[in-house]
Structure 1
């Protein structure tokens, strides 16, 4: 009996070990887990039935009401609806299948259904779950511009598929809806989204919905200032509240009804065209397979082996997140809606000889902080994605004369502060990855560096006379003074933070000007401005410190806030504090190290900050960024662990990057997943870079960019690069223990002793071999 127990226990433990080893034949799309971190997500966070950058992200909604903590929440007990658009500022076209008496006129809550995760499948491109109250199995997939539903019904005397076109979804309320019966298997209509805090104008989404089975009846309802009423005998409905449901009688057990929904932000005709082009038949399984293949094509740009299965799952989940935070808005014919002027205009992206748009016009949040995550990843292996983001903002410059910060509903919204686009443009230009008009990009960036450009505006500041960005004050004083908090409108009027961000952006502009062959006088003016960080560095305290227009330091000053600080930031900073922003000088880390007392002093104070943050997992609670010394919850401090290399201690970078990766970015559960604001894939991209052991504090915006080396978590990493090139990283760990520290390196067969190497070497293809170990080699990488 004892021997049998030992044998069973041994077999069990072996099974556990095998499950945690890399012996899985799974493709990347099988490993990525869309459910990770969905307990308390953003509305746009969960995406299973979607394609990379796809207009449609078809998924269940369990809660509405805000951008935060909304959409598909893993622990909620009810499904309210399935909807087709999940963006930070756009939503639309909810669908809900039910059996029994239809309660559509009573709102989404009346038709909700219990569900559990038993039997649920959620993979990139596909989701399946059971609506328990109705006994309906729902399966979802998507193309770029169309959603595809497959509902398997129980035996039902009556069944209905509801489209509540004016229901509030996530952070979006609807002003109006309309639906019309086209024939016994087709409906068409639209929903008009009311403005949001960030998206200041209406936005209309058009739809065409087709059903595989002719409905036995179709019912419309509307309300205008009164309770909703069903419209008897009508074939259409329009109003402040409006909707439609298709009805089926006497369905047999196991009978399936399929539904296809094409959408467009331009017109009903384009919605129909998108649907016709992308879903020409009713083969649901083929559509699922197509979606899976598209995700595998995206995720397989980086192939990893070794490590644990959990590390691989997290890696491909992170990589998936880099392709779901931004959504294309142009139709298959290249038309998109430009809403940046006094009235909407339909624009045309010039098509390739194959009849396809060469880039996408996106709905995308801003690029605040992407120089430490997405910009690097895009330049490494996804240059066409970085270029399509750039082309979106350059389209605004072509159409309306402003290189904007973000794009929602065809218009800009001035999210956060500064000229966030110039670091991306500079990175793509300086790495040789840019396919856009570089002269146009430079002119737009140049405009933003002076009054009359986007740096006039504080966060979300609208109106014809912006003043909250303070670029005029920055030019006059060499910094943005404390008084900016009382000047102009908008949010995030933190003068010290603005100064640091503007100085880095000036350096990016200088590098781009130099790369493009501009005059020495032209690029040197921005190099000089890039040193403005020194104007707010208080040598007596050793911290960046706000000061007023007369040059007086702000008092009482605290590098880290207290419980009385309130808000997201301490005075003068943006969603952070001086303890973190004091290291925001990527353009001159050597100068910062010297100002802070030299390498030893710099390293000691930074390491002390990391040691103090181990108990918090190196991340502040969202909304309490003022309280942290290290904060990987938010953008301003994403480079901190990598700074040790620049101060002469690359082994400390290797150690603390691994500590942050394990504590902050390794979880794969629904409960955690990401410690903080997984802001449109930024933290996913940072986690990817930590896993593969590549980074650049300067965001690849230097005219001669380099990549910094840290220790990867995998045995082998293959990067598939443009032009059919490959770069391979292989690691060995002779001790077979902890693989945190780099012992030695070879690049293309040659011994390499620096912690950085030219980006050009990577881009040309080749190999890197790293020997790792459990003890630091203090002689390597200095």
Structure 2
């Protein structure tokens, strides 16, 4: 298409749909809440806020707990919804108080009549009690507004030792501070992932003086029973408190503000006083909504369908709820890495605010294909918070962390997952951490004595399940690692592939810093993927210490090999991990028979997976040929471009976007484990039409172009510049799957990727879309 005609074509602008609504009006926290993770639902919350205030309908698990939309009853409202931390449940009731009988005794039928759930606000009717509950939050404080019916007696219950989500409580404490205020704490027991105790402190401030305040503790004769305690405090293995009000008139309101801290009750009070300076609920809701609009509004979209806009902003919302700050307003946080807890301090800015946030954060396994890209593009402040958190462990505990819960080192999944994030932030010019320290931490992790010693969840003093010593000895992690160490995910072939990519990331960091003595050896290690590639089968294949290939071998699970993962792999199989060479896709394509063969085989996999929505059932990953329910294969649809067929990437990315991530109902939207916003980030990138198989970790990184679903996208960049993408189709209703031509800053662009620096410096991209592939576009080297 000639430039003149292209510009005329772009000038046929269509009115944008939904342009009057702000992003927070479009995001829907209820999407995919039928069977969510405990940390998944967070309406009354701020982006990355310590407090995630919401209703709980089920406890006892991580992957199927918290707020489940189809459950019959609400058990409580609680303030902490993290993967491994929970706490401070509240339940308002009318009638006789049954607090001592446990959460189930005070449950209320869950009604969706009149329910409102938006980022920063949640409203529910507690139908059995006639109470309207409204919730909002600041970063470290929850705010409840309960509107009561006429009632002879009403109570607000806080069961401080009730088990919440995946967390059990060891001890509870509460004391009366005034006729409107209670303070205390809950001591969380260790979990499978978080091996140490963790305490959440609170200060609860009521708008209306109590008519009576009652405490309970454990029975002296029955460890499972609870009994009322005389006095103004309780401290016990079973402990709680409830505030009572009598002869309430219809419409009476009780406002409750709960500040929390992982450091102390004094800090919880400080957080409350600082963040909730008054008891104006509407102002608090407005502040929360504005915070979400500020976050979501960094990317403005128009055009597409309303459903696509709702899903996009819901996806972006998810990227800000999977990890949460854990330092207080004064910068203090708990370090639980040693034998005793230590209070440490995040540096403060000139305005007295924390210079960065110490995070409670699940691992970064697989984030090179979702969050790392999005953070580097638009949200580097949040990416740097994670980087600084994990680097603080290197400074204080000697190891660059891969997970943080309750201020303690945790060992979720495998490898050194932080290094790809550090590399991406460095190569995109977005890093705000000490690069020398980052390289030193990543370097240490790549040898015995670092984090790669440990397999998943391996926390002992003599770890061996990570196999980094064998990786260095053999050039791969042998199959026998499955019987070594006491951790999980001991899949040697998968470890080899992930370590090789992480080694390449270290090499890129070193190269950008001029450290050739590090660059050379790690580039050699980045090629270790070849040591587990079996040319005779065309797959990555487990190998033992003698160099023998595992027999029998199948690329996907069979009746005898198990469905969660096949031997040698981690939550996946050879069929998917055989594409796990992001550091050298060209070499992988050649090893697997060249471009034509590579494309043919990859497309066959996608065609076979269409009926399953390109996703395995969670926990059945070993059976899948394509699996967008889990991290190892999140880049596969983008590989066609690297083999010379970008039109096939455009087609299959669009198919995955619609079938796997396109729904906005309460029962679908992410096809399984959303996993801390990773799938939300991937879905958002697909909608935007941008990606990078290498995770932006290479020196001079590029962004790959696919077909956006919106007619206009405006990125508000960290340097106060903007990058705009505009797309047009020949006529309304015409299929817009395929890229016909691209103008980058007014000039024709015929490559499927463009330098990240062009994006970061601001500019425009105009994309003409159509119903038929233009096989000439995007193939220029």
Q: TM-score, normalised by structure 2?
A: 0.97
Aligned: 1:283 with 2:280? yes
Q: Is 2:204 the counterpart of 1:196?
A: no
Q: 1:270 aligns with which of 267, 272, 280?
A: 267
Residue 606 of structure 1 corresponds to 602
Report the counterpart of residue 14 of structure 1 in structure 2: none
Matched, 1:728 2:737: no
Higher deviation after alignment, 21-30 or 383-392: 21-30
Greater shift in the superposed pair: 77-86 or 734-743: 734-743
1:690 aligned partner: 686
Counterpart pick for 1:81 among 63, 72, 76: 76
Separation in 1, partners of 2:451, 2:84: 21
Instruction: Check whether the contact 1:536–1:546 (CA below 8 A) recurs between aligned residues.
Output: yes
Q: 1:131 aligns with which of 111, 116, 126?
A: 126
* Aligned counterparts of 1:329 and 1:673: Cα–Cα separation in 2: 29
Q: CA deviation at 1:772?
A: 0.3
Corresponding position of 2:493: 496
Residues 180, 188 of structure 1: 8 Å contact kept? yes
SS of the equivalent of 1:115 reads strand
Which digits, 9 at most, give the CA deviation of each residue in 1:306-349, with x for residues without a partner?
Answer: 00000000000000000000010000000000001111100011
- Residue equivalent to 1:454: 451
Deviation at 1:230, TM superposition (A): 3.7
Asked if the contact 1:155–1:254 (Cα under 8 Å) also holds between the matched residues in 2, the reply is yes
Which whole-Å CA distance do the structure 1 matches of 2:600 and 2:778 have between them? 19
RMSD across aligned positions (CA): 0.9
Alignment partner, residue 404 of structure 1: 401
Q: Is 1:55 equivalent to 2:50 in the alignment? A: yes
1:315 matched to 2:309? The reply is no
Q: How does 1:48-127 map to 2 (within 5 A)?
A: 48-127=43-122
Contact 2:331/2:348 (CA < 8 Å) preserved in 1?
A: yes
Residues paired across the two proteins, number: 762
For 2:377, what is the secondary structure of its paired residue?
helix
Provide structure 2 residue ranges, at least 5 long, that are not aligned to the other structure: 1-14
Q: Which residue of 2 aligns with 1:3?
A: none
- Match 2:171 to one of 163, 173, 176: 176
For 1:751 and 1:110, locate their aligned partners in 2 and report how far apart those are by CA, in whole Å. 67
Query: 2:203: which partner in 1?
Result: 208
Query: Aligned partners of 1:756, 1:466: CA distance in 2, in Å?
Result: 42
SS at match of 1:724: coil
| Partners of 2:370 and 2:180 in 1: CA distance | 46
Q: Distance in 2 between matches of 1:734 and 1:688?
A: 25
Q: Which residue is equivalent to 1:718?
A: 714
1:21 is displaced (CA, Å) by 7.5
Match of 1:617 among 598, 613, 616: 613
Match among 665, 668, 684 for residue 664 of structure 2:
668
Alpha-carbon separation, structure 2, partners of 1:229 and 1:454: 44
Partner residue in 2 for 1:361: 358
Tell whether the 8 Å contact from 1:735 to 1:773 is kept in structure 2 after alignment: no
Aligned to 1:699: 695
Residue of structure 1 in register with 2:10 after alignment: none
The change in CA–CA distance for 1:229 and 1:66 in structure 2 (over 3 A counts) is closer
Which of 636, 649, 669 does residue 645 from structure 2 map onto? 649
User: CA deviation digits over 1:204-229, x for unaligned, max 9?
Assistant: 00000000000000000000553544
Instruction: Give the drift of 1:562.
Output: 1.7
Superposed CA deviations along residues 108-160 of structure 1, whole A, max 9, x for unmatched, are: 00000012111000000000010011000000000000000000000000000
Query: Residue 568 of structure 1: CA displacement?
Result: 1.2
Verify: 1:155 aligned to 2:155, yes or no.
no
- Aligned partner of 1:558 among 554, 559, 571: 554
State the shift of 1:567 in Å: 4.7
2: CA distance, partners of 1:317 / 1:398: 36
Shift of 1:232: 5.0
> Which segment drifts farther, 555-564 or 88-97?
555-564
**Aligned positions of 1:1-80 closer than 5 A:** 22-80=17-75
Residues 20-41 of structure 1: per-residue CA shift (max 9 Å, x gap): 9814511000000000000000
* Aligned equivalent of 1:634: 630
Q: Say if 2:654 and 2:737, in contact at 8 Å, map to a contact too.
A: yes
Distance, in Å, in 1 between the alignment partners of 2:138 and 2:381 is 19
Note the alpha carbon deviations across 1:387-440, whole angstroms, 9 max, x for none: 000000001011111101100000011100000000000000011100111110
The aligned residue for residue 474 of structure 2 is 477
> What's the CA shift string for 1:592-636, capped at 9, x where partnerless?
000011000000000000000000000000000000000000000
5+ residue gaps, structure 1, are 1-19
Q: Check the 8 A contact 2:101/2:226 in 1, yes or no.
A: no
Deviation per residue, 1:567-586 (Å, 9 max, x gap)? 51000000000000000000
Structure 2: distance between partners of 1:567 and 1:772: 40
Q: How does 1:701-780 map to 2 (within 5 A)?
A: 701-736=697-732, 737-780=734-777
Residue deviations 1:511-547 (CA, integer Å, cap 9, x gap): 00000111x2321100000000000100000000001
Paired residues of 1:314 and 1:667 also in contact (CA < 8 A): yes
Distance in 2 (alpha carbons) for counterparts of 1:735 and 1:640? 31
Distance 2:266 2:517 in 1: 53
Contact 1:632 1:676 in 2 (8 A): no
Give the aligned partner of residue 11 of structure 1.
none
**Mapped pair 1:303 → 2:300:** yes
Secondary structure of the corresponding residue to residue 619 of structure 1: coil
Cα distance in 1 for partners of 2:61, 2:18 equals: 42
Matched, 1:575 2:571: yes
Question: 1:654–1:710: 8 Å Cα contact kept in structure 2?
Answer: yes
The question of whether the paired residues in 1 share the 8 Å contact of 2:301 and 2:712 is answered with yes
Partner of 1:425: 422
CA–CA distance in 2 between the matches of 1:299 and 1:136? 32
Change (3 A) 1:227 1:557: closer
Distance 1:216 1:443, change over 3 A: same
Of 167, 174, 181, the residue aligned with 1:186 is 181
1:327 is aligned to 2:324:
yes
TM-score, scaled relative to structure 1: 0.97
Q: Is the 8 A contact 1:92 1:191 kept in 2?
A: yes
Distance 2:314 2:684 in 1: 9
Q: What SS does structure 1 have at the residue aligned with 2:190?
A: coil
Contact 1:735/1:774, CA 8 A, preserved across alignment: no
1:490-517 Cα deviation digits (max 9, x unpaired): 0000000000000000000000000011
Q: Deviations over 1:711-737 (max 9, x none)?
A: 000000000001210000000111440
Kept in 2, the 8 Å contact 1:21–1:308? The answer is no
